[in-house]
Copies of this chain bind each other. A is one copy, B any other.
Amino acid sequence: MKQQLVAVCLVCASLAPQCAVAQTWEPPSPAQRCPSKWGADDERGAANHMNPQTVLRASKLIKTGEMVELGWVLSSDMPLVGTRRFDLHTKRTGGPMGSNQRYTNEEIVITELGQVGTQLDMFSHQGIDGLLYNCIKIDDVATRSGFTKLGVEKIGTLFTRAVLIDVAALKGVDMLEAGYEITVADLQAALSRQGVSIGVGDAVLIRTGWARLWGKDNAKYNAGCPGIGVSAAQWLAQQDVMLLGADNFPVEVAPNPDKALNLPVHQIALAVNGIFLLENLNLETVAARGVYEFALLIQPLKLKGGTGSTVAPVALF
Contact = CB atoms under 8 A, between A and B. Distances in A.
A138 to B, nearest CB: 6
A62 B69 contact: no
A96 interface: yes
A180 B265 CA distance: 55
A108 B112 contact: yes
B143 A102 contact: no
Contacts of A92: 92, 138, 142
A101 interface: yes
A159 B100 CA distance: 32
Interface stretch (A7-15, A34-42, A74-82): A74-82
Nearest to A103: B127
A201 to B, nearest CB: 13
A53 interface: yes
A89 B306 CA distance: 9
A294 B305 CA distance: 30
A109 to B, nearest CB: 4
Contacts of A263: 97-98, 102
A287 interface: no
Interface string A181-194: 00000000000000
A71 B304 CA distance: 13
Contacts of A313: 299
Given A26-B100, A90-B91, A138-B103, A55 B62 contact: yes
A301 B304 contact: no
Contacts of A111: 108-109
A173 B80 CA distance: 40
Contacts of A52: 64-67
- Looking at A96, A97, A300, which has the most chain B CB atoms within 10 Å of its CB? A96
Interface stretch (A144-152, A162-170, A203-211, A235-243): A144-152
Given A107-B306, A144-B93, A312-B157, A102 B114 contact: no
A114 B97 CA distance: 21
Contacts of A102: 126-128, 262-264, 266-267
A299 B314 contact: yes
Interface in A254-311: 260-264, 266-267, 297-308, 310-311
B90 A105 contact: no
Given A55-B67, A95-B127, 16 more contacts: A26-B99, A56-B62, A67-B156, A69-B157, A71-B302, A73-B153, A91-B144, A100-B267, A104-B125, A104-B126, A105-B126, A106-B114, A106-B115, A107-B113, A108-B108, A156-B314
